[in-house]
Amino acid sequence: VYDATAGCVRIIDQTRLPGRLVLAELRALPDFCRAIVDMQVRGAPLIGIAAAYGLALALRDSSTPQTLAMAAAQLNATRPTAVNLSWALQRVKHAVEDASPPHWPALALAEAAAIAQEEIDACRRIGEAGLPLLESLAGRGPVNILTHCNAGRLATLEWGTATAPIYLAHQRGVPVHVWVSETRPRNQGVGLTAWELQEAGIPYTVIADNAAGALMQAGRVHCVLVGSDRTAANGDVCNKIGTYMKAVLAREHRIPFYAALPLSTVDWDCTDGGRIPIEERAESEVLAVSLCDGQGEAVSRPLSVAGARAWNPAFDVTPAALVTAIITEAGVAPATPEGLSRLRGRRGDHS
């Protein structure tokens, strides 16, 4: 959140959770770039918001066309997959381009705030759009929802994307139970989603990523509900590595698979998921585990033999054919070019 008095953005440092709730202050461009690269800030919508504020504060420090171009390029290069990053930077650039440089800081800051507010509203509407889907699955017991990674409050603000229908269902008295897959290698499920759901008082159970298949085999999953880092115009959903495996298993077991995302996550220029750049992160994320020591400091411990190598893609692409529906702030639609375009048109009515 932006603090106008202090002139900085305060974030929850997600690398310290669930051990400690630490707030970090981002004051200048390098702070924002590092926070995104190191995943102190993560989740597609939040990355976009952070980048918008980063650009605004860079302009506050130096309101020149050179800074605008350089800062936007630097921020855009922090992570390749989430399209919200370039989308939010474009919005800030458009917001200032017709004004003279002295007005840029105020305009950029206002645009960043607008993006943040729109994403919060979008997530709330995602909750409303997704709620009937969960209600339709309610039977005698709770609706068992399998999620992956963290597409919750921590990844956006207030509601989350995939978690928005879950929070809303819980508020409205629809009994829900969430299967939280741990989400190796960075453990966003066991570390972040479990923390969020615990705070919200929503029943959940953590599983190893490996157990998702056995869970479906046992008939204990009513739907899969995930977020997205970038969705192609044809409905292919790019999301945290391991999502694709859950989608294939869901179809095998005739379990609906939903992706919940604000339309800011749709890359309208990307005709299919095969064109989405997939970030490959450090081998050490797989070969070692990061955790907090007794003092709450992050430490890394090896899990493998010295000299081991690893391949560590951060995302995978789930083909649209495996996606039962996409849940957005403009409603629910099939994962097809037509379905998404229809939603895009409808979004226009709201904004």
Q: Can you give the binding site for its own copies, defined by CB under 8 A?
A: 18-19, 179, 182-185, 187, 190-191, 194-195, 198, 204-215, 217, 240-242, 244-245, 248-249, 252, 278, 286-287, 289, 291-292, 301-305, 307-313, 316-317
| Catalytic-labelled residue, pool 229, 236, 267, 316 | 229
| CA dist., res. 75 & res. 86, Å (int) | 9
Smaller CB separation from its own copies, 140 or 309: 309
> How far apart are CB 322 and its own copies at their closest, in Å?
10
Length of the chain counted residue by residue? 351
Q: How many CB atoms lie within 10 A of CB 56?
A: 26
Q: Are 246 and 226 in contact (CB under 8 A)?
A: yes
In 3D space, the residue among 266, 240, 111, 140 whose CA is nearest the CA of residue 182 turns out to be 240
CB 20 within 8 A of CB 296: yes
Q: Which residues contact 226 (CB under 8 A, 6 or more apart)?
A: 147, 148, 149, 151, 162, 237, 239, 240, 243, 246, 257, 258, 259, 260
Local structure of 150: helix, strand or coil? coil
Nearer to its own copies, 183 or 228 (CB): 183
229 as an active site residue: the answer is yes
Minimum CB distance to its own copies, residue 277 (Å): 14
Nearer to its own copies, 14 or 328 (CB): 14
Smaller CB separation from its own copies, 277 or 313: 313
Considering the complex, state which of residue 69 and residue 282 has its C-beta at the smaller distance from its own copies. Answer: 282
Q: Residue 345 to residues 267, 341, 349: CA-CA distances in angstroms?
A: 15, 6, 7
Q: How far is the CB of 20 from its own copies (least distance, A)?
A: 11
Name the token pair of 148: 């992956």
Q: Which amino acid is at 246?
A: K
Nearest distance from C-beta of residue 164 to its own copies, angstroms: 21
- Do the Cβ atoms of 323 and 162 come closer than 8 Å? no
For residue 19, give both structure tokens.
Answer: 């051990």
Q: What's the closest the beta carbon of residue 184 comes to its own copies, in angstroms? A: 5
Residues with catalytic roles: 229
